């Protein structure tokens, strides 16, 4: 009986431990690949000025946009056509700015997407073709060349008394419209030290990433330099094989740490709260004085065959709401995010009033979080 009792107790304890383990919430783990980027492996922005032709009368007005006229004359002169002193009245051409992103390790001949945006008073770029446009980097060097037919997501149609516009017809995109002509030199394989840049700088997250890398490699090779960067000394066995090292490091998973923060966009009334937001014991009351005035004038007609006149009699209705039904609510100490939201919603307030309440609670020193107003 004693052995049976001990066996039952042991089985019950194991089952209870298993149940507790299953009920415990799993930590939100993220890959290092999603938390940090390798310094040097980045895109570069390109920009260029060009002309779009073939528009159906929706291009720039040459008399109002002088740079379009000058560009058109310069292009025709390069092609052997002299238009100096001539009157140009075409509306089928538009000056545009062309932008693109040069990907990391982009090789010569690789195609990239480009975005074309009207620079003058063109009404639409639909049906247009971009002429050869050099794309330059921040150093003034040409790294790509763009050309091709535009794809427009929006459209515009108008008549004598009405106009309909959907989307943005003055911005288009050319898929694979750019060709890389020059590469950016970056010898990744020859690096002896790497640096990881955190997308959301945080001291605790940087330390956890360094510890995960050191545990994986087995030596102290990673060290956080600041909340935004981690230095990695490349081990001897990975010399000349940097791709293998990076692919193994970026798959490691850690739990990132975030500070208590509330982000507020007053223009749209959007409020985003982090999970670590805490509030000390505080009482909140919200009430508004609302005055509604409505005008309902009535027409007074004279009796038949009388000498009276038809008059308009004003009727004004005034309604005052002092918010007397709103009560004082108490938010207890160290409540969770869910309790805080439920408590504020219990007051029956909207997002606009909630923004003012959060700022007032912060001013009272009862909100343990940073408020960022966009």
Place of tokens 């007053």: 266
Q: Minimal CA–CA distance to 224: which of 211, 243, 238, 242?
A: 211
Output the CA torsion sign for 45, 50, 56, 62. Answer: positive
Rounded alpha-carbon distances, angstroms, from residue 200 to 144, 209, 223, 360: 32, 13, 17, 28
Cα-based angle 272, 274, 279 (whole degrees, multiple of 5): 105
Burial state string for 276-296 with b = 16 or more CB within 10 A and e = fewer than 16: ebebeebebebbeeeeeeeee
- Could you give the CA distance from residue 208 to residue 256 in angstroms, rounded to a whole number? 8
Instruction: Give the tens place of pLDDT for each residue, 106-162.
Output: 899 999 999 999 999 999 999 999 999 999 999 999 999 999 999 988 766 666 666
- Give pTM, 2 decimals: 0.66
| E strand or H helix at 35 | helix 32-35
| E strand or H helix at 177 | strand 171-180
Rounded alpha-carbon distances, angstroms, from residue 256 to 110, 203, 259, 320, 373: 36, 10, 10, 51, 24
Per-residue pLDDT of the chain (374 residues; tens, 9 = 90+): 445 444 444 444 444 344 333 433 445 789 999 999 988 888 999 999 999 999 988 999 988 888 998 899 889 888 888 877 777 888 899 999 999 999 988 899 999 999 999 999 999 999 999 999 999 999 999 999 999 999 988 766 666 666 677 778 899 999 999 999 998 888 887 788 889 999 989 999 999 999 999 999 998 999 999 999 999 998 888 887 888 888 999 999 999 988 788 888 877 778 888 777 777 776 666 665 444 545 566 767 777 766 767 777 666 565 555 555 555 555 555 566 566 667 667 666 677 777 777 788 788 777 778 888 87
Residue 63 C-alpha from the chain's centroid: 39
| E strand or H helix at 342 | helix 337-346
Q: Classify 300 as helix, strand or coil.
A: strand
Output the CA torsion sign for 206, 207, 213, 214. Answer: positive
Q: Minimal CA–CA distance to 344: which of 334, 332, 329?
A: 329
What burial class does residue 345 get, using C-beta atoms within 10 Å of its C-beta: 0-12 exposed, 13-18 middle, 19+ buried?
exposed
- Could you give the CA distance from residue 121 to residue 108 in angstroms, rounded to a whole number? 35
């Amino acid at each position: 009986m004693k052995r049976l009792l001990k066996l039952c107790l042991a089985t019950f304890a194991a089952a209870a431990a298993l149940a507790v383990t299953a009920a415990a919430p799993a930590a939100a783990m993220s890959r290092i690949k999603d938390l940090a980027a390798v310094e040097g492996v980045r895109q570069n922005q390109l920009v260029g000025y060009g002309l779009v032709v073939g528009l159906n009368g929706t291009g720039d007005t040459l008399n109002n946009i002088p740079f379009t006229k000058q560009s058109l004359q310069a292009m025709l002169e390069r092609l052997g056509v002299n238009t100096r002193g001539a009157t140009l009245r075409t509306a089928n051409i538009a000056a545009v700015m062309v932008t693109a992103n040069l990907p990391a390790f982009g090789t010569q001949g690789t195609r990239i997407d480009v975005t074309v945006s009207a620079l003058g008073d063109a009404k639409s770029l639909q049906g247009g073709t971009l002429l050869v446009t050099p794309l330059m980097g921040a150093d003034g060097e040409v790294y790509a060349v763009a050309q091709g037919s535009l794809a427009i997501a929006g459209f515009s149609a108008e008549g004598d008394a009405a106009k309909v516009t959907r989307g943005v017809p003055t911005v288009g995109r050319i898929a694979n419209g750019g060709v890389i002509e020059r590469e950016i030199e970056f010898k990744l394989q020859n690096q002896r030290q790497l640096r990881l840049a955190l997308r959301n700088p945080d001291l605790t997250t940087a330390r956890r990433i360094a510890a995960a890398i050191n545990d994986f490699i087995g030596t102290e090779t990673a060290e956080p330099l600041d909340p935004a960067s981690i230095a990695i000394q490349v081990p001897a066995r990975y010399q000349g094989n940097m791709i293998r090292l990076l692919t193994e490091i970026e798959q490691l998973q850690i739990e990132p740490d975030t500070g208590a923060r509330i982000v507020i966009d007053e223009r749209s009334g959007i409020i985003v709260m982090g999970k670590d937001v805490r509030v000390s014991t505080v009482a909140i009351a919200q009430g508004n004085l609302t005055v509604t005035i409505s005008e309902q004038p009535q027409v007074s007609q004279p009796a038949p065959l009388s000498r009276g006149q038809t008059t308009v009699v004003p009727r004004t209705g005034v309604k005052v709401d002092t918010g007397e039904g709103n009560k004082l609510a108490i938010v207890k100490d160290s409540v969770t995010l869910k309790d805080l939201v439920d408590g504020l919603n219990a007051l029956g307030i909207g997002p606009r009033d909630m923004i003012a309440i959060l700022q007032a609670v912060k001013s009272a020193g009862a909100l343990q979080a940073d408020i960022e107003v966009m």
